[in-house]
A = this chain, B = another copy of it.
Amino acid sequence: MISRRTIRRYQQREIPSELLDELFLLANRASTMGNMQLYSVIKTSSKEGKEALLPAHFGQSMVMNAPLLLTFCADFHRFSEYALQRKALPGYNNFLSFLNAATDTLLFAEKFCTAAEEAGLGICYLGTTLYNASQIIETLHLPQLVFPVTAVTVGWPDEASVQPERLPLASFVHEEEYHDYTPNSLDAFYAEKEQVNAHFVLENGRETLAQVFTDVRYKKSDNEAISKSLLLALKRQGFL
């Protein structure tokens, strides 16, 4: 676990379906709200299926390169349908229920990824899933109360990528209450990150590394536009 790293290039070799089932059963032991198991996962391994999802993931090459793309969905549809069939009135078309199902889904996804890596596979999370949720909902025919929370490419590693640097432990662990940051502590915590990534500042013609994030990679205007469409998609799926 300590030596893990994200894998974006994969061998052209299938994942045995028995192994995959075993990994799903392991993931299925993750903690879940009231044992309701508020998740579904869609397996995309066909060329057509991956091509259909590619635009939603901004054409990222690992989508086609990976033998398998998994879309992990918050799912209150299954449980609600079950309730209706048992003379029970489900009340899960609301925001809390979305967050409960999203939590279940992310714990399930992460348990799957940890198990997959233990088995020698490599994975990459696709943050684009939230950016283009509506497109994914349409492509995968997700009904009301089902929402794509994250997606992961899976396959046998075909690269020896290096581990990126991480913030030190003291920066994210707080004792008894939240201890706010000071100019000095921020300088210290981000020093290694700035050193290792200095070339990005030059490549992007910026003055600081932080500006690469705020002005190029994760811009306020993009975040605000996507937030709007995300809230709209949640509404359309019945969660708001």
A contacts, CB < 8 Å to B: 1-6, 21, 24-26, 28-31, 33-37, 39-46, 49, 73, 75, 78-79, 81-83, 85-92, 94-97, 99-100, 102-103, 106-107, 109-111, 113-115, 123-125, 127, 130-131, 139-143, 146, 149-150, 163-167, 169, 171-178, 180-181, 183, 186-187, 189-190, 193, 207-211, 213-215, 217-221, 223-224, 226-227, 230-231
Contact = CB atoms under 8 A, between A and B. Distances in A.
Contacts of A209: 86
Contacts of A175: 42-43
B115 A1 contact: yes
Given A141-B178, A143-B178, A181-B81, A26 B39 contact: no
Contact of A172 (B75, B89, B164): B75
B223 A42 contact: no
